[in-house]
Structure 1
Amino acid sequence: MTLPLKLSGAEVRLNGIGKRYGQVTAVKPLDLVIEGGTLVTLLGPSGCGKTTLLRMIAGLEQATDGRLFIGGKDVTLLPAGERNVSMVFQSYALFPHMSVLDNVAYGLVSSGFKKRDAHAKAESALETVGLKGFGTRLPSEMSGGQQQRVAVARALVLEPEVLLFDEPLSNLDARLRRSMREEIRALQQRLGLTVVYVTHDQAEALAVSDKIVVMRNAEIAQAGTPEELYTQPASVFVATFMGEANHVRAAVESIDGPTATVVLGGERLALPHRGTKPGPVDLVIRPEAIRISDSGQLSARVSRATYMGSHTEYYFSIAAGELFAVGADRLKRRAPGEQVMLALDPEGVVLVQP
């Protein structure tokens, strides 16, 4: 007999939360609300503070500033074991000498559950992650993806209000990472869990998140939905960190309604102004927004063309520099040295005022 898991997602509220190590600031005081039942990703380069922030939510690090609330309860001073939060570590941290079932049940047994009840809940958790019948195996007899699921089951069996992931897929190969991130997302949505997910992989963040918090230099650079961050980045850093992007300097010459006349390398382009004013701007152009077109506004020369099977990767030389583009015209590839005209899809071009 298995005992059903009782799971619900709680709101996580950070009010002025910060962390210092002596004179070093790991996380500058910040405010953040993570709504119950959503998956929020902390994304950023190494050393930006995302893992420290995750560990403060877990109770593994003590905040030096601010207050932390989970489900409306102030947990700022509570130790990790009293926060009803579970964490899935990058290394999985499974006990090699224990069976999978004992690994999953370990936290319950340690907290005083009878072994029979703990095993019943562990069986339910394994079934939840698609590993029913695997309880007698040792971790060494499981694949990397299966071990990752065992680590998730061990976290779920404690029936946490918040589930934390610290770079959970970094030890897996690219194909397995893709399938596992979809499984984590599906599990989160099915169970209504509140999940805080740390990664430095932009594609991973885009694929699983309700909301992404991009961090840089120990603070939040921008927070929003995946679509908002990709199409409406607030800075060049966010734009270039959220996937491939070309970055060139340009100038807004004039504004007419929603359209800006932008001068790029001596050529004029009509683009959505997105709140910018006349003067110097940073022009961020997504590779997929660049098309070869006889009616294009931008003259260019093909400097490189690489066949990639489903598409062609181009490098174009323009007066303002070089542009990287992804073209679907694999059956009609342009040759290096060829002069072409380029059109820019407005939805893939962002003007950012310095």
Structure 2
Amino acid sequence: MTLMLKSRGAEVRLEGVGKRYGAVQAVKPLDLAIEGGTLVTLLGPSGCGKTTLLRMIAGLEQPTEGRLLIGGRDVTLLPPGERNVSMVFQSYALFPHMSVLDNVAYGLVSSGLRKRDAHAKAELALETVGLKGFGGRLPSEMSGGQQQRVAVARALVLEPEVLLFDEPLSNLDARLRRSMREEIRALQQRLGLTVVYVTHDQSEALAVSDKIVVMRNAEIAQVGTPAELYTQPNSVFVATFMGEANHVRGHIEAVRGDTAEVVLDATRLELPVRGLSAGPVDIVIRPEAIRVVDMASVEAMPATVSRATYMGSHSEYYLSTPLGDLFALAPDRLQRRVPGEAVGVQFEVEGVVLVRP
């Protein structure tokens, strides 16, 4: 038996929501709609406003302007306890002197539910997150990943319309982060929750999200699906923040319909024009779109390997080229290049994107 929420997660809508601390604009007024039953990640560097935005949704911070609606209900001025949202904190915030079961049941008991009924619900919540039978342990007797699940169970047991995560995996090692993000995603999809998830880890955001909100300087830089943001970034910042990317300058020589003829040194490529016009242009090249080839065998841009790193499943190269230094990933485990080697570079157009500065 698993814990079932009463209804599918609610829509979260922000209308002109902003936050000031004196003269400091922590979040510039913005509009954002988060569809019910989806997982949306707020992604950006430290200080961009993502955590402040999450705390305003939770009711831990009050907007200084705008309206915030959850499930169509204006909750802008409501305290956290009246919003029907739950939050999983970075530190998990478990009570060390309480058993796991009492930790999960705490919110229900505090709201007036009989302890026996609260414990029954808490047992179901623990089963939902794969911790059946762990209720009698103390948090100190649990691993980091298990404590994180306890924190999720404590949030789920309140049957929230919206579940909020603030950097929930930052205290875990790399392997455990990977498995826990998959568990969070599977749980969200199974229960139909609306989840707002804050992280600065691009790979984490790509792995769990229906949509990603990239933030910069207290405002939204771009909103899209993981694939849209990776393959169609609207700026150099978004492109370079969403994974590894080489930023170079090129020239649009001609525009024909939706296609631009682009010159990169002596290389010519036909790329989607993306609303740009002829002239100098910023170009982003993904490392996996760079093919390192033998210089003598094909037409290619000349390059020299300046650094080579063996990564097991692939090799990483830093290349000196007429465009400047380029970072490339190559699945050439059996034919590894060496520093100082003269090579050629070709580009796969699917990983080359025209962007605005």
If the TM-score is normalised by the length of the shorter chain, which range does it land in?
A: over 0.9
Q: 1:151 to 1:15 in 2, by over 3 A?
A: same
Is the contact made by 1:45 and 1:200 (CA closer than 8 Å) also made in structure 2? yes
Q: Give unmatched runs, 5+ long, in structure 1.
A: none
Q: Is the aligned partner of 1:280 residue 2:283? A: no
Give SS of 2:105's match: helix
Cα-Cα RMSD: 1.5
Q: Give unmatched runs, 5+ long, in structure 2.
A: none
| Counterpart for residue 174 of structure 1 | 174
Among 318, 327, 333, the alignment partner of 2:321 is: 318
Q: 1:22 to 1:334 in 2, by over 3 A?
A: same
Whole-angstrom distance in 2 between the partners of 1:7 and 1:128: 16
For residues 128-159 of structure 1, the C-alpha deviation after alignment (integer angstroms, 9 at most, x for no partner) is: 00000000000000000000000000000000
| Counterpart for residue 346 of structure 1 | 349
Give SS of 1:108's match: helix
Within a 5 Å distance, the mapping from 1:100-249 to structure 2 comes to: 100-249=100-249
1:257 Cα deviation after fit: 4.1
For residues 169-208 of structure 1, the C-alpha deviation after alignment (integer angstroms, 9 at most, x for no partner) is: 0000000000000000000000000000000000000000
Whole-angstrom distance in 1 between the partners of 2:319 and 2:334: 19
Is the contact made by 1:288 and 1:327 (CA closer than 8 Å) also made in structure 2? yes
User: Partner letter of residue 239 of structure 1?
Assistant: A
Give SS of 1:46's match: coil
Is the contact made by 2:3 and 2:128 (CA closer than 8 Å) also made in structure 1? no
Q: 1:315 to 1:305 in 2, by over 3 A?
A: same
How many corresponding residue pairs?
354
Is the contact made by 2:8 and 2:193 (CA closer than 8 Å) also made in structure 1? yes
Whole-angstrom distance in 2 between the partners of 1:192 and 1:259: 40
User: Partner letter of residue 244 of structure 1?
Assistant: E
Give SS of 2:227's match: helix
For residues 284-343 of structure 1, the C-alpha deviation after alignment (integer angstroms, 9 at most, x for no partner) is: 100000012444542222222222111111111111201000001110112222222221
User: Partner letter of residue 212 of structure 2?
Assistant: I
**TM-score w.r.t. length of structure 2:** 0.96
Whole-angstrom distance in 1 between the partners of 2:139 and 2:181: 21
User: Partner letter of residue 163 of structure 1?
Assistant: L
Percentage identity across paired residues of the two chains: 81
Is the contact made by 1:280 and 1:353 (CA closer than 8 Å) also made in structure 2? no
Is the contact made by 2:305 and 2:337 (CA closer than 8 Å) also made in structure 1? yes
Whole-angstrom distance in 2 between the partners of 1:189 and 1:81: 25
Q: Which has the higher mean CA deviation after the structures are superposed, 61-70 or 336-345?
A: 336-345
Whole-angstrom distance in 1 between the partners of 2:128 and 2:154: 11
